[in-house]
Structure 1
């Protein structure tokens, strides 16, 4: 046996299994064959920490799915409890041995159990047994230990789901797409995927070119019709989402890319696939989750164009009665538009993230959504589905009692929405009179209207990367000005904080590739911009021109870590103002500030104060750099918590420094939309918070319900605690005591 080849083969096969049940069966069968033992079994940890026999080769098959070992019982329990392999030649002689009659394991003497550990928790035990009374060799044991480590990463996130029979209730975890609870019958939106189209020679390039231009015109009209079908009585965000699709359809890079490939001899579907994959892969390679999510928009559009070419774009969900939950791997706005708003109760996407266009639209429509669930292989059309967008979970075929409880939550959610709608035009003022401004984070034009509709008092973070990502060349000054002017105009009279280009290192441009061993600490943010000062000058000029008729532009610098970076930016801004003044633009110098996300910036804030007009804490990056944790890495994400004592103490230090030197301070990131964290932030004296638009009403309600004095007392208690879990429990209990427990169900 070649251990490396066997490891690779078993792990790859397990990862590609068509269902959870098939996966565990394949695992035990492959190990049984590779190691040459008489028995191979997989025990899976249950919620009460008992161990269920989920699969076996060699034990009585009737015991699979039924044999349950209480926590700590037998040699399996010993392996789980000790988190160390148990390797014995004669199992029955071991003091921890427990005979399980229904497995009929009498004939087997040796026992070797290896724990499967993920995220610090034992999720199962892999067991091999032999009729011969022998110890597993060092090589065999090393193979099993290595294999168990890798298998722990490919087993389902909810290992207990492995043992559930088909047709029974099932809970699946995903990520929050849009808040709320929805209950309805599943409608699976499957269609031909453009990415499965093969390459093929083009028989008649001129005919394919004509068909390509006709397809563009047809789909452009369809997108406009879909926009109109959703538009009445809904926010402008719906229109903005479709506008993004129309922008892509009109983009010369898409049009010309397909045409070029057709002329090179590729048939139309193949040319479309190659072009779409090229642009989608550019975004998919980004480490920034917001930019990475944009690859889905391009894939959605490619599928729509391909469906129009095949003529298979019909969606029967547009007819019929009753509540519907749309389910699919790549749900698009077209799928949503095909369902009557009164029927649409929820959205479940196998792929995607909180930043997907699907999630953006779900938020705008007020439809609960869960993203990134992975394929729900045991789900059929018509199955009852509960979409819990508040915590990012999906319940398949729930029991009647579970449905009743979620209907109660659904009614409570609707009542809360009604109450919060009355606060849209009210300020976020504490009961003892302290005003806190609530801003929105945006990046797409589609994100703008939801912020205004939810009462945003400005834009705390506008990401300017998008024009650079959508082009095959650096966008011109005029192109950037056009986009920035729309954002500033939409928020006329309200402050807009525009972050300069945060790209480089881990977010390379398709036409400016960068390769680094450690991109998180590399050529990114202000470092990249200053090293490419001509690009930064163009962007500064575009911002200044866009803001010439208003006074709401604020320029925000990312990833600042030294004084020279601020001085260099100020010098470039002086030059830009002088140039535009000579060109006849009467301009006023906008306020300039930095994002505090590199820990080094904290100590230098007093030195920088005379050079700055404001500061903004970027809580996501600051937390990651302080904790040395990538919250998007599933192996360490569980340890990430912005309520970590070190994070809270550094936020408190920044707040104190800003107050001492007289710098206006804001905070953006997930902390700003976490009700527990907001108690601390308000108590520390932070008076401006920026968050996703959907979270503004809830945070406003929270702030209007508490006093500044209470928040300050809670903040001081939190700052003296040592564990993030204890801090969170303190703050959540404070919310319950103040009658705000409903916020805990919607975070």
Structure 2
């Protein structure tokens, strides 16, 4: 049966459409299981009834016409129980119901298996036969396995609207991905698909290597001109640091090793287009095979540049596209150069079927405040051109062809967000304190220089997390100590006299350096954070020296250590910091030893918070990673992202424990994850006793508005209500009710999660 299943899956995946896939399934399952009937019932769009959509053995005229309510008949019983039903004599079952249109009265034996996707019963797969017998365990297991395979096909069809042509109801299609940049955009999809295909370059020979090399060099130069032109077009919208992404593209085009490989193939007889395509595809395959998220994204860069150069070689004219004023850029694999082609002011949102939040286009989207969804792998992007789209960058989802009511709700969100920005400007420079005068410092998380201006404009009082890995990620080598010093000095000066908390290099997990690859089966539990830098003290010492030098005369530096899971790691890092400090004193630098802190982001640190707090100047909770580790959920994995719940009872109890343990040692504690930037959660964090909340600059005004509208006593009452609740759903409801009672709720009611129901 295993071989039969593999063959069946291949046939279904190659089917031309959904109906063909269903017909293949019923025919092949009937044949494999040697039954007399096989049928598929699917849920009608927007209703709770199930319709006969394909059959082998029952009357064909019943297909598409026979509909069963979810609470009727044996099929309805399978739906209600969400588990298989195996009957030797179906007619004797109390839930049996006869449907004369199908001609099934002769069939006594019944086996039905639910088709389940994401806990929803999408349909039922049924086999029947005349003989009175019970299907054995292996047959039942096979049908359940087929149903599980079929679930993905049905779910995709339901999302894309393919079921609409087979049933009476139509609906908007929604596709899940992951957030690349927050916000909501409504507009017209513009499909971008590269005309050049590296895989379809026909092998060609040449007896004039010099001419082919000349073509190669001219094409490289033309592609370089393209990149420089696009970078210039985006010059006003990006900082010099973000422009460095295009410098990385130019560096690839100037890579002598890459060019040498192409020229060697030309010398062996290949023409330039074929030689170029083969070398690029080989490098793309190498990067694609890497498990590290950042390195695998380099494959996208190579493909993009490879196509561009190939286009110049083949003299293909770039497709002329019309970009409407509400352009939503859509493609299989969007790139930074595609973004640059859109006229300024026209780009409202982006959707990429491939890629992640680490891709260059997502980094640029966040810098330019363009709502973006990445990794929408089930999205039929080729069919979306010129269709109406909603990009929900908060939820990481895309809606195509939205109905009037849904469109109206999202349009209201967009309008209210625009009003919200203006309303919140009035409190920008007011202190963040509760109605009973409890002061709560609000700091920001930064990584790019563009964050500085936004943060100061929104009233930030310090930096709770400066991601020092960003300058490392944007280079093709380790930055020198002096290069680091200049970057850190800019940050420290920009926020002076406010404190700036610089996290030491945090690579590994979902962040890896292209020149320092980390390949592991489970990188989040592997070599990352402080583990890497302690194993390479030369990297750690150079970075700490650069930080200390940059702080000279400013004295607003704080150093924070990531991914610490033991006292031994903490003490080893402290020894290195003290060493760097005394070295610089001996070199006549006038510096002070900055406060040193630890990030609490693994469960081990939660249970050693007291011991760590006794040895450092501050603790800072990284709620994103801590939640991920406590719940064993990768929030970037679409299959389990719904289980990632930052207000899970276990997470809240861990946060309370950390604050209590830190304060018992007289040590301050802050929080710098996304939880701090959520207005409802901020009320809980203040009640817990967090000394500082640090968040993305965009969230700061909302959090300030809520905290200025409540008393500390109200926040503490809310915490008492939720701390013993058994699940996140109950906690979320309680927090939402508290928000509604706050004076700021009218300002914040444009929250997507509160207003939109899909």
TM-score range, shorter chain: 0.7 to 0.9
CA contact (8 A) 2:620 2:670 kept: yes
- TM-superposition CA deviations, 1:441-489 (whole Å, max 9, x none): 3445666665455554444333344555566765544454455445445
- SS in structure 2 of the partner of residue 666 of structure 1: strand
Aligned-partner Cα distance in 1 for 2:421–2:493:
28
- 1:124-163 matches, cutoff 5 A: 124-152=123-151, 156=155, 159=158, 161=161, 163=163
Q: Could you tell me whether the CA contact under 8 Å between 1:51 and 1:69 is conserved in 2?
A: yes
| Distance in 1 of aligned mates of 2:403 and 2:241 | 39
Q: Which residue of 2 aligns with 1:243?
A: 244
Range with bigger deviation, 547-556 or 469-478: 469-478
- Say which of 277, 281, 292 aligns to 1:286: 292
Q: Secondary structure at the match of 2:559?
A: strand
CA contact under 8 A between 1:54 and 1:162: conserved in structure 2? Answer: no
Partner of 1:705: 709
Question: Does 2:38 correspond to 1:40?
Answer: yes
Greater displacement, 323-332 / 196-205? 196-205
The alpha carbon displacement at 1:65 in A equals 5.1
Are the counterparts in 1 of residues 175 and 397 from structure 2 also a CA contact under 8 Å? yes
**Is residue 256 from structure 1 mapped to residue 256 from structure 2 by the alignment?**
yes
Q: Distance in 2 between matches of 1:147 and 1:181?
A: 38
- The RMSD of aligned alpha carbons is 3.7
From 690, 693, 700, the counterpart of 1:696: 700
Partner residue, 1:112: 111
* Deviation per residue, 1:511-557 (Å, 9 max, x gap): 66666665544433223322332332233233334444643332211
Change (3 A) 1:585 1:141: same
Offset at 1:162? 5.1
Hey, what's the Cα distance between the residues in 1 that align with 2:41 and 2:288?
Answer: 40
Distance 1:65 1:674 in 2: 47
Question: C-alpha distance in 2, partners of 1:91/1:555?
Answer: 71
Task: Measure the CA separation in 2 of the matches of 1:210 and 1:446.
Answer: 41
Instruction: State the match for 1:744 in structure 2.
Output: 751
The alpha-carbon distance between structure 1 residues 322 and 607, as it changes in their structure 2 partners (threshold 3 A), is: closer
- For residue 623 of structure 1, report the CA deviation from its aligned partner: 1.8
Alignment partner of 2:538 out of 534, 541, 547: 534
Deviation at 1:75, TM superposition (A): 1.6
CA distance in 1, matches of 2:568, 2:359: 37
C-alpha distance 730-473 of structure 1, shift in aligned 2 (>3 A) = same
Residue equivalent to 2:548: 544
Which piece of structure 1 moves more, 486-495 or 613-622? Answer: 486-495
Alpha-carbon shift at residue 609 of structure 1 (Å):
2.9
**Structure 1 residues 371-390: aligned runs within 5 Å:** 371-374=374-377, 375-376=379-380, 379-390=383-394
| 1:523 counterpart SS class | coil
Q: Distance in 1 between matches of 2:753 and 2:84?
A: 42
**Which residues of structure 1 form unaligned runs of 5+?**
none
Structure 2 distance, partners of 1:400, 1:324, is 20
Give 1:565 deviation, angstroms.
Answer: 1.2
Aligned residues: 736
Equivalent position SS for 1:705: coil
Q: Residue 730 of structure 1: CA displacement?
A: 0.4
**What is the Cα deviation at residue 577 of structure 1?**
2.2
**TM-score scaled to structure 1, two decimals?**
0.86
| Secondary structure in structure 1 of the residue aligned to 2:39 | strand
Contact map agreement 1:202 1:268 (CA 8 A) in 2: no
Contact in 2 for aligned 1:244/1:446 (Cα 8 Å): no
- For the 8 Å contact 2:295–2:514, the answer to whether it is kept is no
* 1:580-591 equivalent positions in 2, closer than 5 A: 580-591=584-595
| SS across alignment from 2:255 | helix
Task: Give, in angstroms, the shift of residue 47 of structure 1.
Answer: 5.7
Which of the numbers 230, 247, 270 marks the counterpart of 2:278?
270
Number of the residue aligned with 2:504:
500
Q: Which residue of 1 aligns with 2:91?
A: 92
Task: Identify the residue that residue 270 of structure 2 maps to in structure 1.
Answer: none
Structure 2 CA distance for partners of 1:724 and 1:15, relative to 1, 3 Å: farther
Q: Hey, what's the Cα distance between the residues in 2 that align with 1:562 and 1:528?
A: 14
Q: Is the 8 A contact 1:85 1:115 kept in 2?
A: yes
- 8 Å CA contact 1:117, 1:124 repeated in 2: yes
Quick check: 15-24 or 660-669, which moved more? 15-24
Partner of 1:165: 165
1:729 to partner: Cα distance: 0.5
Query: Per-residue deviation at 1:648?
Result: 0.5
Equivalence for 1:324: 327
1:685 aligns with 2:689: yes
Taking the aligned partners of 1:647 and 1:418, their CA distance within structure 2 comes to 34
Matches within 5 A, 1:424-573: 424-443=428-447, 451=455, 454-466=458-470, 476-481=480-485, 483-504=487-508, 519-548=523-552, 550-573=554-577
Q: Deviations over 1:227-273 (max 9, x none)?
A: 443455x5x45x65443122342368x61342132144271233234
Alignment of 1:612-691 (within 5 A): 612-691=616-695
In the aligned structure 1, how far is the partner of 2:53 from the partner of 2:453?
Answer: 50
